[in-house]
Amino acid sequence: MRKSFAVAWGLVALVGLFVAGCKNDPGPSTDQAPAGVTNEQQAMAYFAQNDEFVANTPETFGDASEAAPDYSSSVLQKTDEAISPLRWGRIITQITKTVTTTVEPGDTIAIAKVENDIVGKFKIRGFKPNTTGGNDTVTVEKPFNDKSLRYIVFKRIARNTDRYWLNWVPVATSLVHGETLDPVNVTITKAELTLPSGKVITIDDPDKYFLRYRWLRIWNGGNEEVPELLAGDPVKLKVTVESAKKDTDLVALRYGCTVQMRNRRLMRCVSETQVGDKYVREYVTGTPALAAPVVGVYRGHFHIGIDAITKETVYDDAAPYSSSWWGVPYRVF
């Protein structure tokens, strides 16, 4: 009886997890496999691509258009840089997704590797000096090609040959991390989150840090539970970045991002140490007296997005785009 209850609960959770929020795809059902799915491997690949945290990645790290540094701040002061930016944004134009699933020995746990090839334009709107001694308002576009990686953990809950697409349930996710492969001028190396309870989550390997879906209650592995917050809960964030550039990089917190809303806030650089030809810097949210809140206006699945770009990416129209970004899943209920 206990096993049957667990299986039934897992099936209900699976259906609820993926049917909710899918407007164009009817989603899985107990009677019909998703379109194009003919076996368990394809089912896991389908569900990995439609996991709500996976689906939220483009909204977290992509911008609808050029935006102010803090999305609501005043115009930056005039500088002697090649371009004085007013607004900038990462505009994603194409995502090619590849999912590879591996069933671990014992046939009860499987790992789906989700890789994204992300193409687009980094757009900067700002002032540039002209030959008459004045400034022209210009838009600079830099092509970019980022790669991202994340892992989804699946647990087997049944061995039903008739409804094979419901035999596995996603139960945890790693962080998503992305970066520009060439040039690699900035790299996030560590993130520390302090939750409202005072609990500190420290992550230095985004590919091996797994956050389990506590609300499913069918897997106790991984490192921690996905943080669950109330709207308005503050989360302190400290980030360590390694940079090849002497100029201080721009590191931003992204949170509560959906198709309808996006939030980006610059973080403060509070320390810098030169190690060989690299610069190790620490960034924090908010001011010494007030942490920047991670707020979900609506219930849903989001990312605490850490977005690091070199200063020359924004301030030098001739320099290449270079970026590193992590996404820590969290849920608002």
pLDDT band at residue 115 using 50, 70 and 90 as cut-offs: very high
Give the chain's count of helices (H) and strands (E).
4, 17
Closest listed residue to residue 140, CA positions, set 158, 122, 118, 154 = 122
CA distance linking residue 199 with residue 233, whole number of Å = 13
Contact 296, 278 (CB under 8 A): no
Q: What is the pLDDT of residues 248-306, one digit of tens each?
A: 999 999 888 877 788 888 999 999 999 999 999 999 987 665 555 556 556 788 999 99
pLDDT band at residue 22 using 50, 70 and 90 as cut-offs: very low
CA distances in angstroms from 132 to 81, 234, 258, 311, listed in the order given: 17, 49, 43, 27
pLDDT band at residue 10 using 50, 70 and 90 as cut-offs: very low
At residue 119, does pLDDT exceed 70?
Answer: yes
pLDDT of residue 77: 37
Tell me the percentage of the chain whose pLDDT exceeds 70: 82
For residues 31-36, give the mean pLDDT: 89
Element at 12 (helix H, strand E):
helix 2-19
Q: What is the pLDDT of residues 162-215, one digit of tens each?
A: 999 999 999 999 999 999 989 999 999 999 999 988 999 999 999 999 999 998
CA distances in angstroms from 280 to 190, 241, 244, 245, 328, listed in the order given: 11, 6, 9, 10, 21
Q: Which residue has the higher pLDDT, 261 or 240?
A: 240
Contact 123, 141 (CB under 8 A): yes
Question: Would the pTM of this model clear 0.85, i.e. be above it?
Answer: no
